[in-house]
Chains A and B, each alone.
Chain A
């Protein structure tokens, strides 16, 4: 079976640019997978997503979406994808509903009618249903100009999903959204994935949003650096940590030194560990503890650590 997204040796060199934006990137995303593409600003994320969605030409390499080559079968690819761009791409002079109608008719879902009331019932019901889910039902017939950034983002989400794409590209979709809106958006996208088996390709600067993805790739300086599950990434780059403290802190630090356990003292005593378990370490301690916590590294910790190890962000 073909992967839903197959990228092989993708290169993008912009005209007159000194640095190659994407340097021979290869990865694959399976059907129904939730995939996160992470990297600092200027790493090549948006360039890659633009090539995958046929809006940017590639210099060399091959990209296939749902088995269709993005260069030779661009129209077939476009039928399969939905995208939320990094920059809002709504028509500010139309109403929210007119923007959705424009999209739905452009995708051939319905014949164009000049008013919402004249559109088929299936369209009207779907729009109302989606608007209800993302909480913009009351603003549906207002001009985009009068909607907040968060509302506009939600509208873009409705628009990108109305044709039920097989692959949904989300290029920093929660930029400008408040915490409540972010949460409701992710709940909705989870539901879409469950209901339609949609493959989701995400780029984000909020690394916590990628904690629950199936696979994560880090791109930096136009090259793929890591491609694995978030779990593997956390454990390959970071140790877990025991956070300890005792009324007799000196006794505890002395005991840790005698046992040969590396530790550092900040607000509390931190003991990183990887090969042994927390249970094994604690069982060797005799000092009475006043604090015992286990710190599990987050994907964000791993991501920051990775950038430190590889010389920081792209310019």
Chain B
């Protein structure tokens, strides 16, 4: 294949990703209730759950639990909202809109990636909401830290979406999808170290935490926030380069499996 053809094919796929993502963003903007919920969720998760945890569980730690928990909540919201967004693929399946995407001459991976980035819009809104709630709770991040976290957020959304696709890709009805969202998000919140440190996990729970992309996304963001501080060794689990490699590897694997399941489900309606 000539270079020009390759480039044209790449831009075509990129345009498809943007188009699919733009549709989801447009739908989100047309549903103010969804945006309000995306902003309200951090109040519940960060303000109430996080606040209660920091008041009752922060004793005996050699780092500031509030900041630890806030980063956990930010990434948790990112994963949770992206997963919920991905589950709208089941709505598209039920209304046959997925068929419209499936007959288009774009790769199935582009369809899935577009859907993930579209779902990420609500996730970014939630993440902003978490930062705002954090401010009210007296937890601050420097502008540089915020910038770095935002720069990493597309990768984390992709990782969250890819993980969600492995399960959502197999589901054909909305009720099951709603249960699946809980099934995907809740274990991640507890096993990845979002709100509870997992330095002492062992056995099956340790193994499970190591195959969840959220574990590495959290660790990477904490490496950014805690870099150069005395708490770094207590909070960060892995070398950031290893963490980044793990995120990329797991995302690629889950994306391939999730896309395969999605395409298979659509082809065997």
Contact = CB atoms under 8 A, between A and B. Distances in A.
Contacts of B104: 78, 103, 106-107
Contacts of B99: 55, 85, 89
Interface in A90-134: 90-94, 98, 102-103, 105-108, 111-112, 114
B96 interface: yes
Contact of A57 (B15, B20, B105, B267): B267
Nearest to A74: B105
Contact of B16 (A76, A90, A91, A108): A108
Nearest to B99: A89
B22 A106 contact: no
Interface stretch (B23-31, B79-87, B135-143): B23-31
B22 A91 contact: no
Q: Counting chain A CB atoms within 10 Å of each CB, which of B18, B104, B269 scores highest?
A: B104
B19 A56 contact: no
Given A91-B97, A106-B16, A83 B30 contact: no
Given A15-B268, A57-B267, A108 B105 contact: yes
Contacts of B106: 75, 106, 108
Q: Counting chain A CB atoms within 10 Å of each CB, which of B104, B105, B268 scores highest?
A: B105
Nearest to A53: B103
A310 B69 CA distance: 72
Interface in B1-52: 12, 15-16, 18-20, 22-23, 26-27, 30-31
A94 B268 contact: no
Given A89-B95, A89-B97, A91-B97, A57 B268 contact: yes
B107 interface: yes
Contacts of A57: 267-268
B105 A78 contact: yes
Contact of B266 (A55, A112, A114): A55
16 contacts: A50-B269, A55-B267, A75-B105, A75-B106, A83-B103, A89-B97, A89-B100, A94-B23, A103-B104, A106-B16, A106-B19, A106-B20, A108-B12, A108-B16, A112-B19, A114-B22
Q: Report the 10 A-B pairs with minimum CB-CB distance, sorted nearest first.
A: A78-B105, A105-B19, A89-B96, A108-B12, A79-B105, A106-B104, A112-B19, A57-B267, A89-B100, A112-B18
Contacts, number: 80
A309 interface: no
B103 A94 contact: no
A143 B107 CA distance: 29
A81 interface: yes
Contacts of A50: 269
Contacts of B20: 106
A87 B96 contact: yes
A104 B96 CA distance: 18
Interface in A51-77: 53-57, 75-76
Given A87-B96, A89-B96, A106 B101 contact: yes
Interface residue SS majority, chain B: helix
B101 A90 contact: no
A94 B267 contact: no
B26 A56 contact: no
Nearest to A91: B97
B96 A85 contact: yes
B103 A90 contact: no
B23 A55 contact: no
A103 B15 contact: no
Interface string B83-125: 0000000000001110111111111000000000000000000
A88 interface: yes
